[in-house]
Chains A and B, each alone.
Chain A
Amino acid sequence: MTTTSAETVIAPARSKTVARVATVRRKQGFQHGGWFIAPFLVLFVLFVIWPLLRGVYLSLTDANISGDGANFVGLDNYREALGDSAMWDALGHSAYFTLLVVPCITVLAFLLAMLAHSIERGKWLWRLCFFVPFLLPSTVAANMWQWLFTQGIGLFNETFGLTTPWLTDKSYAMFALVIQTLWWTVGFSFLLYLAALQSIPAHLYEAAKLDGANAWHRLVHITLPMLRHITGLVVALQILASLQLFDQAVVMMDFGPGPELSTRAFVQYTLEQGFTSYRVGYASAMSIIFFVIIAAVALGRMVLLRNREESAR
């Protein structure tokens, strides 16, 4: 009896509170929602959306760097770009670089993370050693390796007893970039893997040990499946970053396109057309093509992920 009377007393009060919360939510949210976003939105529109729209417009003109006297030329720039073998070469270099870097970095990052995770002592030291190259500015990391790879005075050949012309022969230049990039950027993916490894519940391994699973079984049946998400993320981030190859290629090749143009990346070719040949319209058309490629890769990943999740269900 006492309980019911207590409930009848409390219930109206509670429903009043709920109603009040609901109106507060609606009113406050509606009044202020836009203002929270506004500062970001202003910057975003000015420096992301507007340049994108402007790029689309410029790509339809023959604008030069000053922007004066631009004529509307329709799709001519796109037609020219698609027939420009130098553009396809540059795109090919970026794609080839991506193809070489992504699998290597994924495997290397995983192995380093497993190593750092398994050693019981000095965890901060391993983290520092493997991550520290990532903290160097791209130009600094590139300068270092340019020096290491320079024939004659470079320590790379000296240490390994080689005489390879890393930076001056087109059959090695791309590999020099890949080696430099692995060293410089693997730390980031390494940390992602390390964090993922640390978040796998220990009881899974204990249970498996009780069931008599050896180290190999535990790796294949627990560790690797638990890392599937992070692997997908590492691969996706690396693909997008590698396609945007620019800094290290430019700096290591003395601000040129590499021996026989062999390392000229897509971004580099676009900027050359824009800033060296002053063909802003043409460079904008290539920027838009590049945007479409990046968007296609990102969308492709989303679709793949969705399918995988659905099939897993």
Chain B
Amino acid sequence: MTTATTLEVRKTRKPWTPSQIVLTLLGVAVSAVFVAPIAAALFTSLKSEAEAAEIPPHWLPEDWTVQAWQALWETGNVSNWFVNSLVVSVLVTAVVLTVSALAGYGFARTEFRGKSIVMGVVMAGLMISPAVLGVPLFTTVQQMGMVDTYWGMILPQCAPAAMVYILYKFFQGIPKELEEAAFIDGAGRWRVFFTVILPLSRPSLAAVGIFTFISSWNNFLWPYMVTNNPDLMTMPNGIATVMNSYGIQWAQLMAGGLMAGLPLIVVFVFFQRQIVAGVAHTGLAGQ
């Protein structure tokens, strides 16, 4: 599972061979295609609205201006949406990490009556998402009086069977002897969980945390269903629904989109290694 990280150890510099030159050029070309839409969005956000709607379009702004970014910041609810996104994503991540670490450990290392049945039901839950059961989930949340509240946005995102499964698989791989040594020294279950298991699981917990944060920050469907109040919307939501309803102002829309996307790109640049290892880990754990 840790292969992705261990194999990244720096190799000594090799000389350029013809095949490496060709491959690198190919890599540059393909990367350019991938980055082009983001670059186009960035350039558009630096045009005036009139220039953004010009026919025929051109890539680079003729007059560089930050007017779209300014207008967005001054008139829109962007700062509100940003805070909402942050609150929702951080809380979802915290709750998911807590409950799925506990549950993963419970399933991996403890016995209780009916465990296999409960596990079967939870695994079946892997197939259920807000997309699959949108309307009944909405009426349930409505019944609890949580439409247009933070809790209504947060709690339904907090029962991801997939994360429990990933941590369950990981905990199963920790040698039992480690815990037993602590038991013999008189430590209880909870103490072992907090002082032995959790410190050993940091990479897995990081992966689960990062992925929960990414998917929560980017979640559109659920906040879209459960919020009508623009003050409560999250970033991706507000940008898509409210800004579209003004009539599309492309420069502002692109500026807003980049603002919504930027935090995760920064997170990726800093946590690249953990994210790559996390993808590898979560992916392979699914087998």
Give me the interface of A with B, judged by CB distance under 8 Å.
17, 20-21, 24-26, 28-37, 39-41, 43-44, 46-52, 54-55, 58, 63, 65, 67, 112, 115-116, 118-133, 135-140, 142-145, 147-148, 152-155, 158, 183, 188, 191-192, 194-196, 198-199, 229-230, 233, 237, 240, 244, 246-247, 251, 254-255, 267, 270-271, 273-275, 280, 283-284, 287, 290-291, 294-295, 298
Contact = CB atoms under 8 A, between A and B. Distances in A.
Given A20-B184, A128-B272, A132-B35, A39 B103 contact: yes
Contact of B161 (A44, A130, A255, A284): A44
A92 to B, nearest CB: 18
A48 B184 CA distance: 39
Given A120-B20, A133-B38, A192-B280, A198 B55 contact: no
A33 B283 contact: no
A29 to B, nearest CB: 4
B225 interface: yes
Given A140-B239, A153-B52, A291-B133, A44 B159 contact: yes
Tell me if B's interface is mostly helix, strand, loop or mixed: helix
B254 A147 contact: yes
A132 B105 CA distance: 33
A191 B99 CA distance: 27
Which 3 residue pairs are nearest across A and B when measured between Cβ atoms? A36-B106, A195-B280, A33-B110
Contacts, number: 319
B138 A274 contact: yes
A157 B27 CA distance: 24
Contacts of B30: 112, 115, 129-130
B254 A51 contact: no
Contacts of B280: 191-192, 195-196, 198-199
B8 A36 contact: no
B140 A255 contact: no
B254 A144 contact: yes
B118 A37 contact: yes
A226 to B, nearest CB: 12
B212 to A, nearest CB: 13
Contact of B35 (A46, A129, A191, A295): A129
A34 B189 CA distance: 12
A86 B115 CA distance: 43
Nearest to A154: B57
A244 B132 contact: yes
Contacts of A145: 37
Contacts of A155: 40, 57, 59
Contact of B8 (A63, A116, A123): A123
A240 B102 CA distance: 27
Interface string B188-221: 1110010000000000000000000010011011
Interface stretch (B62-70, B71-79, B262-270): B262-270
8 contacts: A47-B159, A50-B140, A55-B135, A55-B137, A137-B239, A196-B284, A198-B3, A254-B244
Contacts of B214: 135
B228 to A, nearest CB: 10
B189 A140 contact: no
Contacts of A298: 126-127
A137 B134 contact: no
Given A136-B261, A274-B138, 13 more contacts: A24-B184, A47-B140, A51-B137, A55-B135, A67-B139, A155-B59, A199-B7, A199-B280, A229-B287, A244-B132, A275-B138, A291-B127, A298-B127
B272 A124 contact: yes
A140 to B, nearest CB: 4
Contact of B110 (A32, A49, A194, A246): A32
A195 B279 contact: yes
A52 B135 CA distance: 10
A135 B265 contact: yes
B34 A183 contact: yes
Contacts of A21: 180, 183-184
B30 to A, nearest CB: 7
Contacts of A121: 20, 24
Residue of A28, A138, A290 with highest tally of chain B CB at under 10 A: A28
B260 A140 contact: yes
B100 interface: yes
A183 B32 CA distance: 12
B135 to A, nearest CB: 4
Contacts of A115: 23, 26-27, 30
A43 B159 contact: yes
A39 B102 contact: yes
A199 B8 CA distance: 11
Q: Which of A144, A196, A290 has the most CB of B within 10 A?
A: A144
